[in-house]
Amino acid sequence: MPKGGWQEFSSGDSLQRPSGPATDPTPKAEQIVRVQPTRGGRGGKTVTVIRGLELDAAGFKGLLKKLKSRIGSGGTAKDGVVELQGDQVELTLELLTKEGYRPKRAGG
């Protein structure tokens, strides 16, 4: 093929995924998990925010389901942060401890 010519598909080598060392997820007991009640930007409603969880999408979904059913309120997981409706800090700390995490209360 002439230099600088048009090529419809990339070469097979460029489509290969990089084979770097796989990083193991941080063990639950070593993750820095913070649980905090907050009202900012939510029309005066209090929500419990959980930050610092190192989970994949399926892990977030599973943990959120356990938290919501145990606490009995709604919630969401987005951008690596779990939000639960209401001031549920104590119940959340208890449940995360049972799950093997070492959560800490943050903020007010």
CATH of the domain at 96: 3.30.780.10
- Whether 81 maps to a domain, the answer reads yes
- 61, part of any domain: yes
Quote the number of domains for the chain: 1
The verdict on residue 101 lying in a domain is yes
In a domain, 58, yes or no: yes
Q: Which domain holds residue 46?
A: 28-105
Cα–Cα dist 63/80, whole Å? 12
60-105 pLDDT, tens per residue?
Answer: 899 999 999 998 999 999 888 999 999 999 999 999 999 899 999 9
**Is 56 inside any structural domain?**
yes
pTM: 0.73
Could you tell me if residue 3 is inside a domain?
no
Amino acid symbol at 54: E
**Is residue 17 predicted with pLDDT exceeding 90?**
no
Task: Please classify residue 48 by burial: count the beta carbons closer than 10 Å to its beta carbon, then call 0-12 exposed, 13-18 middle and 19+ buried.
Answer: buried
Domain contains 69? yes
In a domain, 14, yes or no: no
Looking at the predicted structure, is the pLDDT value of residue 18 above 70?
A: no
Please report which confidence band the pLDDT of residue 43 belongs to, taking 50, 70 and 90 as the band edges.
Answer: confident
**What's the pLDDT score for residue 19?**
56
The predicted pLDDT at position 59 comes to 87
Q: What is the pLDDT of residue 84?
A: 93
